[in-house]
Structure 1
């Protein structure tokens, strides 16, 4: 059955019939275009179709971005889409609007938690690209606050020495005096190295 209108030429109808027969014989069930399971070679093609940039991203991050592309584009121009896109790169992101930090109207800034992923010049450039792609046109980007938490192992030790001497003699005690000494010492040493390139 042809989908071409009746007024089309015989040549068009022959082409339609030829390609219809050829395509009907294809088993398209083996074609996988799901971002989670498709071959890695298809990722750039899927990214182009979903209008997302996966350049210099890891395979897992690229798959997540493609998988969420529809939702990100659907809400494009909102802080929701900006947060959704940034969460693919950073564990915790927070968009602060101008009234939350005392900025000028229509301004916003980002708070990024990078304790697990780390941050470098390239990821900051990627962050700026994401912000400019998904933010509202009228909104002004005031920059980013970076939070890095560190975990330290603390060891504590203690020592207590206590003694008492009692002598019992035939005479009656009029007064009993006890002396106790308590000594406490603490030591704390912190080093922080920050490299800014």
Structure 2
């Protein structure tokens, strides 16, 4: 029967002639205790598979390691995790509208990129349109700083359009007036 690395002991691996030596057995047990500590810490070296379980300060170091250009330590932990997960892919597609769209999805949760020909702008310009109610002026400024790390260098952002819609009561009324115009003249 095979054992996993978490279950194996050094005495199980010794040849038969050394299994009876008390000094070797004592040394093996001493090594086993240190080895079990090491084996239990192996999971801490797995970074990417455990990204959803890492703490904020560890994420800051991982973001530096993966060169997440638009990373900010003040972001919430879920946004940090999403940025780190997407960083390798974004580095592969930098300079494309898709890279900007991923950044929009990460920071604004929803939104689109409108290129200049869709809204009648000038060539090599684009704008970002979002209807997320949580987007504020500060978040838009944060987005602009991050945008410069993923967009094409020749392209220029015209602006971030934040669409707002409100539910309001609408009252309307109408009247129909029908009448006949009569004119009377006195005849002499």
The two structures have a TM-score, normalised by structure 2, of 0.62
Higher RCO (CA-CA < 8 Å; seq separation 6+) = 2
Conserved 8 A contact 1:35-1:64 = no
Superposed CA deviations along residues 25-79 of structure 1, whole A, max 9, x for unmatched, are: 6435321413212233311011101112132100111111111111111111111
Q: Distance in 2 between matches of 1:146 and 1:185?
A: 32
Match for residue 91 of structure 2 among 73, 79, 87: 73
Q: How many residues align?
A: 133
Conserved 8 A contact 1:86-1:130 = no
Q: Distance in 2 between matches of 1:185 and 1:139?
A: 49
- The aligned counterpart of 2:42 is 29
Q: By how many angstroms is 1:185 displaced?
A: 6.8
Q: Given the superposition, is the C-alpha separation of residues 60 and 101 from structure 1 closer, same or farther in structure 2, using an over 3 Å criterion?
A: same
The two structures have a TM-score, normalised by structure 1, of 0.60
Conserved 8 A contact 1:113-1:146 = yes
Q: Distance in 1 between matches of 2:158 and 2:173?
A: 47
Match for residue 131 of structure 2 among 83, 102, 113: 113
Q: Distance in 2 between matches of 1:129 and 1:118?
A: 15
- The aligned counterpart of 1:9 is none
- Over the aligned positions, Cα root-mean-square deviation in angstroms equals 2.5
Q: Report the structure, 1 or 2, having the larger helix content.
A: 2
- The aligned counterpart of 1:137 is 153
1:146 aligns with 2:175: no
**Unaligned residue ranges in structure 2 (runs of 5+):** 1-34, 175-188
**Unaligned residue ranges in structure 1 (runs of 5+):** 1-24, 157-183, 187-197
Q: Distance in 2 between matches of 1:146 and 1:66?
A: 26
Q: Distance in 2 between matches of 1:141 and 1:101?
A: 13
Conserved 8 A contact 1:95-1:109 = yes
- The aligned counterpart of 1:41 is 57
